[in-house]
Amino acid sequence: MGLSKEFRVRPIYSEELKKKAVFSVLSGEMRKAEAERAYGIRGGQTLDYWLERYGRGILSEHKQLLEGMGTRKKRTPASEEVSEAEELRKRMKELERELEAANLRAEAYSLMIDLAEKELKVAIRKKSGTK
């Protein structure tokens, strides 16, 4: 059996806690249930009441922050980092092209030697064990 109303102890929350909880919900940082757990708020409608009571005041206090909500912040690294990273990417692509060309050249030389040995019947490649 539950306690009668006159014997129930209602928790008293500080104004700061109320405003923090309301701001967390309004800013989208937490959902209502999460804020209730995080701040130890009991009662299903307590946070709803605080949202009605403090919501407008908090919105005006944090207007600048809330204006930026919903837009993604563009991450702009320092210009030095961008140029250095871009230079490294270009250098890497250049080296990859040079490597590909060197590999093709080596394969072409190998094919030319194979054809010359076959058609001219001359041993061009050095045999292992000879000096």
Q: What is the pLDDT of residues 51-85, one digit of tens each?
A: 888 776 665 666 666 566 555 555 556 667 778 88
69 or 17, higher pLDDT: 17
Number of domains in the chain: 2
Which of the four pLDDT bands, split at 50, 70 and 90, describes residue 45?
confident
Q: CB 25: neighbour CB atoms within 10 A?
A: 22
* Structural domain contains residue 57: yes
Is-above-0.75 flag for pTM?
no
Residues 117, 124: contact at Cβ < 8 Å? Answer: yes
Of 94, 93, 97, nearest in space to 105 by CA: 97
- Would you call 27 exposed, middle or buried from its count of C-beta atoms within 10 A (0-12, 13-18, 19+)? middle
* Structural domain contains residue 56: yes
Least confident piece of the model among 7-16, 41-50, 61-70, 107-116: 61-70
Considering the domain architecture, whether residues 57 and 16 belong to the same structural domain is answered as yes
- Would you call 59 exposed, middle or buried from its count of C-beta atoms within 10 A (0-12, 13-18, 19+)? middle
* Structural domain boundaries enclosing 63: 11-67
Give the model's pLDDT for residue 123.
84
* Structural domain contains residue 58: yes
Considering the domain architecture, whether residues 60 and 97 belong to the same structural domain is answered as no
* Structural domain contains residue 123: yes
Residues 41, 47: contact at Cβ < 8 Å? Answer: yes
* Structural domain contains residue 1: no
pLDDT at 130 over 80: no
* Structural domain contains residue 109: yes
